[in-house]
Chains A and B, each alone.
Chain A
Amino acid sequence: MEFLRPASWEEALAAKAEHPSAVPIAGGTDVMVEINFDHRRPTHLMDLNRVHELHEWEIGDETVRLGASVPYSKIIDELAHELPGLALASHTVGSPQIRNRGSVGGNLGAASPAGDSHPALLAAGAEVEAESVRGTRFIPVEDFYTGVKRNALAEDELIKRVHIKKADGPQQFSKVGTRNAMVIAVCAFGIALHPETRTVRAGIGSAAPTPLRARTAEDFLGAALEEGGLWDSGRTIPPSVAREFAELCSGACNPIDDVRGSAAYRRRAVGVMARRTLGWVWESYRATGNGRTTEGGAQCA
């Protein structure tokens, strides 16, 4: 095995082009487990910790440009206002030690269907900035997951940043597991209200081969809120609408039975999380003046 230590982003891209089988290592919280247990013996391990850009983030007008290696603990401490859903999801990852190292870039690289950042990214709206010596691509996050632990990266590409839409309304994240720390999701759910476009987005984790958006449920809810004039009135969402939304979210799942839970349980739990988190985000929307304010509409539970 060879250990590559690129000192800059350009060096990292060049090294990846030269050694396409090199395994990037950021926080190492996935990679090192595989190496410690002999599940992986890459020819090259490429340390990304020296590449400064990857640890930085920028808050723009519309998006947060999050460096691939920014650890979860920084997202929780510094970006909960702009990215409330991702901050909530980050807080459920592993333990403080894991959150100090683990990153969204690593979560995307691993592309586990159970990765906790995925439902939050899907709900907020995000693009993955993938770069190689050949150039840069912006991949909508819903197209990034291509299979169980597979993603859309070419073998010479690295993730530079994730461009995540700043919250324009309340967001929530919910995760089912056996306890409050150190839990791989049995299933997870992220929801974001987007009052500016009068849309709702929902992301589901660990209930299909890839993380996915519940598009039919999103469209149904968007139409129901519009028709009922609820974005303006801020009235309570009729229980029948919430129920239908939950059922459509359940229906979007394509889960398996495994040690963490059965397919039937996952489907049911996703529906329950959908209904509950919808209730939470709608309550905060109502509480913040029906979203007529664009500032401070997001709330972190």
Chain B
Amino acid sequence: MRVTFTVNGRRHEADDVWEGESLLYVLRERMGLPGSKNACEQGECGSCTVRLDGEPVCACLVAAGQVEGREVVTVEGLAEYARERDGSEGRGSTGDLAPVQQAFIDAGAVQCGFCTPGLLVAADELIERNPQPTDADIREALSGNLCRCTGYEKIMDAVRLAAARADDSAPEVV
């Protein structure tokens, strides 16, 4: 079947999609967007997290046909998405990266990087919804994303940093 939907602001079309195929497969294998990772295909790891009409979801658990006509944001579109949301003066945004991406680099929250795309999408949505998250809020928002490398502390640092930079009233802390 043919499936048409918007990814990162642009209309994409995929042909010969198998009816049982996941959104994740279509993004990675048919649309040339391998940023969303495939690890478990059962919703456990969060490395495939994308936004579907704004909501963070596991792309591996959405049937491609369910996305017809809807809007998806993947890690590839995160910088642009953040720029449009925050305006060009959005603090902490540097060039091609969303603030949350820059914060992950600055805080040393990336090791092998496999979990990173999903965490970035989830963390960015958290800060959008809750600009000053507590540590408990961060842990809850990221509880569906597994990381085998970092032990999560640097990821916590990165999200705190991204939130602090986005919050104009707060002093810069690194």
Which residue numbers of A lie inside 8 Å of B, CB to CB?
1-3, 5, 25, 27-29, 31-33, 35-37, 41, 45, 47, 49, 73, 94-98, 100-101, 180-182
A3–B42 CB distance below 8 A: no
B window 46-73: CB within 8 A of A: 46, 49, 55-58, 60-63, 65-66, 68
Which of these, A5, A41, A95, A96, contacts B65 with CB under 8 Å? A5
Bound state CA distance, A180 and B60, in angstroms?
A: 23
B interface vs A, CB < 8 Å?
1, 18-20, 22, 41-44, 46, 49, 55-58, 60-63, 65-66, 68, 122, 140-141, 143-145
Q: A33-B43, A95-B46 are in contact. List 7 more A-B contacts (CB 8 A).
A: A33-B41, A36-B60, A45-B19, A45-B63, A47-B66, A97-B49, A182-B44
Residue of B55, B57, B122 contacting most chain A CB atoms (<10 Å) = B57
Please give, as numbers and ranges, the residues of chain A lying within 8 Å of B58 by CB-CB distance.
29, 97-98, 101
The residues of A that contact B65 with a CB separation of less than 8 Å are 3, 5, 45, 47
A205 to B122, CA, bound (A): 30
Contacts of B41 in A (CB 8 A): 33, 36-37
Output the least CB separation between B159 and chain A (Å).
14
Given A32-B60, A101-B61: A94 and B144 within 8 A (CB)?
A: yes
Of the residues B19, B49, B144, contact of A1 by C-beta under 8 Å: B19
Q: Are A36 and B122 in contact, CB atoms less than 8 angstroms apart?
A: no
CB within 8 Å for A1 and B18 given contacts A28-B62, A181-B143 = yes
B43 touches A98 (CB 8 A): yes
Q: A36-B42, A37-B41 are in contact. Are A96 and B144 (CB under 8 A)?
A: yes
The answer to whether A96 and B42 touch across the interface, beta carbons within 8 angstroms, is: no
- The answer to whether A33 and B19 touch across the interface, beta carbons within 8 angstroms, is no
**What chain B residues lie within 8 Å of A37 (beta carbons)?**
41-42
Which residues in A have their C-beta under 8 angstroms from that of B140? Answer: 96, 181
Q: Which residues of A contact B145 (CB under 8 A)?
A: 95
Q: How far is the CA of A22 from the CA of B43 in the complex (A)?
A: 23
* Inter-chain contact B60/A95, CB cutoff 8 Å: no
Smallest CB-CB separation from B18: which chain A residue?
A1
Q: List 27 A-B contacts (CB under 8 A).
A: A1-B20, A3-B1, A3-B63, A3-B65, A5-B68, A27-B61, A28-B61, A28-B66, A32-B61, A36-B60, A45-B19, A45-B63, A47-B63, A73-B55, A94-B43, A96-B143, A97-B43, A97-B58, A98-B43, A98-B61, A98-B144, A100-B56, A101-B62, A180-B143, A182-B44, A182-B143, A182-B144
Contacts of B1 in A (CB 8 A): 3
